[in-house]
Amino acid sequence: MTSLRSHSTMPTPRSSVPASGPTPPTRALPPRDELLAAVAQRDRSYEGVFVLAVVSTGIFCRPGCPARTPRPENCRFFVDARAALLEGFRPCLRCRPLESADAPPEWLAPLLADVEAEPTHRWRDEELRAAGYQPSRVRRWFQRVHGMSFHDYSRARRLGAALGTLQSGGSVTNAGFDAGFESSSGFAEAFRKLAGQAPSRGAASTRVHVTRLSTPLGPLIAGCTDEHLVLLEFADRRGLPAQLATLAKRLGAVFVPGESALLERTGTQVHEWFANTRAEFELPVHAPGTPFQEAVWTALRAIPRGSTVSYGQLAQTLDRPKAVRAVAAANGANRLAILIPCHRVIGADGSLTGYAGGLWRKQRLLELEGLNLTP
């Protein structure tokens, strides 16, 4: 249980390794005035440029949606449907933004309807086959049309439904999450399903308040006890449910959506870090793990901003030179992204490798710290 303000000493970190790598898969939106004008004119020429999310309804639409034009202050813009889904918005049933790139074939329509009817359901290949779908065929269509697999889409839809859409100016509380559920406890129940955790109100349980933090690289899920930050992870990470289950087991935790002073501090410092006005975090954290994992995470915190080390160097620092794979596994088990900077660990040849949040995101994090490495 430590603050991240101070670091111990680590020998010989690798400095920047300049290289000309591919651009991360992100693109800038046109100016907001141009986007608002396109919405007001229902300009279909902007198809594929942006999707419009309406804060007051929790819905996202295509640029040419025939629905009533929303007020400008209720408009948010995203580069694609995936980004809107991860922020908790639901696809419009009128303009069907998920069909903007290519209308779904008849054979796929029932599956899409099932996902919308039960967005928190976790689909598996066995279920797809039982329902008469070939998982590879479904995956290929989603990859070609939406740039993501069906499971990526389903996970984004599931998490979006669980986290809900924050109303404009609303507070992050149980009642403040508008996820389309019928009761104020809907978010908590959906999040428990996501975490694979049965509802519990035991007096001995540790309450972990969770919220969503928007960042330029996608939303983060932050979780705090009354005293420590225990979770900071990208919302689309494949292993997030497993991370939540492990944290629940180690802390005896119950996840509850809500606000706290520490969550507010975390949000402020994360925003400052991405804005390059903060180099280090000053937050009390608790990262429970095995003794080896905790040793690796302590070593990670010693890597200075703007530097990298290889997995082998990290293993040598721990006097375990043959434990390279175990070091990599401990990196993958890290539940405090950015604060415990596992993105600063690279391959022995100086290339990017092994980041659960995606190599494009790892590259961008290092670029924010002044490095340019190639995947």
Q: Do residues 352 and 24 touch, judged by C-beta distance below 8 A?
A: no
From the CA atom positions of the chain, what is the Rg in Å? 21
DSSP SS3 for 332? helix
Kindly report the number of other CB atoms within 10 A of residue 149's CB atom: 16
> How far is 84 from 219, CA to CA, in rounded Å?
10
The amino acid at residue 66 is P
> How far is 175 from 64, CA to CA, in rounded Å?
32
Catalytic residue positions, numbered: 61, 342
Q: Do residues 219 and 139 touch, judged by C-beta distance below 8 A?
A: no
Torsion sign (Cα): 262, 264, 266, 272: negative
- What are the structure tokens assigned to 341, written together? 């900077």
> How far is 258 from 189, CA to CA, in rounded Å?
14
Q: Locate tokens 């800038």: which residue?
A: 28
Angle at 238 between CA 336 and CA 23, to 5 degrees: 85
Q: Locate tokens 């979780």: which residue?
A: 223
Longest dimension (CA), the chain: 64
Q: Do residues 77 and 35 touch, judged by C-beta distance below 8 A?
A: yes
